[in-house]
């Protein structure tokens, strides 16, 4: 049976380490680091994710601000709010929660985020430095996955890693991190991949970030595979108070018996994304204050 990769526990360890650092900064008379989040519209999952990010700030002693904006905000207005955040010396880092409403171009928005405050690691300048030794802020989810592998001493060097999904947020930067600093051989699969299972069956480490429950079934993986499930899907479930259960992209019950390690959903990658955001915010703060 697989070892479950406990992202909740690891992220909590990381948060304790950071909380201790923040206490020291404050004891030296400095202000706490400050993370802001921009939430446009009323998307249910986005509200939950942002709430969890704000909660983590509280745990580590950061200041946090939630900027809630209406669904029908114009692109120009949103850009003006982001430019305010770029100018605000009291904000060390911020995120613009995705997805954005369809009338707003994600690319335009990402382009104007100050790379020094880009704690999601989405801007072209941070993205372009992912595989460099002196990278700046790494994309939060792939960074969290790498940290989870590291803390469980799961070697990536020389392994065949198969990433399913080629999003800007997860799949693409994940592939670069695994092949670059991770020294792995990487296959990136996506919606146009023919015969997905022939690729996934070759994986020593399989990372799935698509957003389709049960996409990966037991027949699609080999014995001993390490499975990292980035998907968080709401699946209708009448037995739950909220009317839905959270499921990843992997058929957990089917795949777990064949895997050597596997992330649960929830409690696997999700908390690691938040821990990375906190690490990045502290780094942005330290750079801003000349401490790095
Ligand atoms: N939407 C889904 N995941 C993320 C993330 O990591 N950051 C932001 N900003 N939006 C998201």
Digitized pLDDT (tens) for each residue of the chain, 292 residues in all: 899 999 999 999 999 999 999 999 999 999 999 999 999 999 999 999 999 999 999 999 999 999 999 999 999 999 999 999 999 999 999 999 999 999 999 999 999 999 999 999 999 999 999 999 888 899 999 999 999 999 999 999 999 999 999 999 999 999 999 999 999 999 999 999 999 999 999 999 999 999 999 999 999 999 999 999 999 999 999 999 999 999 999 999 999 999 999 999 999 999 999 999 999 999 999 999 999 8
pLDDT at 207: 99
Domain map (residue ranges) of the chain: 29-114, 140-270
pLDDT at 133: 87
Strand order in the sheet with 226-229: 3-4, 261-262, 226-229, 205-208, 160-164, 185-189
- Calculate the CA dihedral of residues 73, 75, 76, 82 and round it to 10 degrees: 90
Residue 171: other Cβ atoms inside 10 A: 23
Q: Which fold has domain 29-114?
A: Rossmann fold (3.40.50)
Q: How far is the CA of 133 from the centre of ligand 1 (A)?
A: 24
Q: Please determine whether the domains at 29-114 and 140-270 fall in the same fold group of CATH.
A: yes
Q: Can you tell me the distance from the alpha carbon of 49 to that of 81, in angstroms, rounded to the nearest whole number?
A: 21
pLDDT at 255: 98
Residue nearest to atom 1 of ligand 1 (CA): 98
User: Which residues are catalytically annotated?
Assistant: 53, 97, 120
Q: How far is the CA of 279 from the centre of ligand 1 (A)?
A: 16
140-270 maps to which CATH number? 3.40.50.720
- Greatest CA separation found in the chain? 59
Question: From the CB of 123, is ligand 1 less than 6 Å away?
Answer: no
């Amino acid at each position: 049976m697989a070892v479950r990769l406990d992202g909740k526990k690891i992220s909590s360890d990381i948060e304790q380490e950071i909380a201790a650092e923040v206490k020291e900064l404050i004891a030296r008379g400095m202000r706490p680091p400050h993370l802001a989040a921009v939430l446009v519209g009323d998307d249910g999952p986005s509200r939950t994710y942002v709430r969890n990010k704000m909660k983590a700030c509280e745990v580590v002693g950061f200041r946090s601000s939630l900027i809630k904006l209406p669904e029908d905000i114009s692109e120009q207005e949103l850009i003006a709010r982001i430019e305010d955040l770029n100018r605000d010396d009291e904000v060390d880092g911020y995120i613009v929660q995705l997805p954005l409403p369809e009338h707003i171009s994600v690319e335009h928005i990402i382009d104007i985020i100050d790379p020094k405050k880009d704690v999601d690691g989405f801007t072209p300048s941070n993205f372009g430095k992912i595989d460099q030794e002196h990278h700046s802020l790494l994309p939060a989810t792939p960074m969290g996955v790498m940290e989870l592998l590291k803390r469980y001493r799961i070697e990536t060097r020389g392994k065949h890693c198969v990433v399913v999904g080629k999003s800007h947020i997860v799949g693409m930067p994940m592939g670069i991190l695994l092949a670059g600093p991770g020294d792995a051989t990487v296959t990136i699969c996506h919606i146009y991949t023919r015969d997905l299972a022939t690729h996934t069956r070759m994986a020593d480490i399989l990372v799935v970030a698509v957003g389709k429950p049960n996409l990966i079934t037991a027949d699609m993986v080999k014995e001993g595979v390490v499975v990292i499930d980035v998907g968080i899907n709401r699946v209708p479930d009448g037995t739950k108070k909220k009317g839905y259960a959270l499921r990843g992209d992997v058929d957990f019950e089917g795949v777990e018996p064949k895997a050597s390690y596997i992330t649960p959903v929830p409690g696997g990658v999700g908390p690691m994304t938040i821990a990375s955001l906190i690490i990045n915010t502290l780094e942005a703060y330290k750079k801003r204050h000349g401490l790095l």
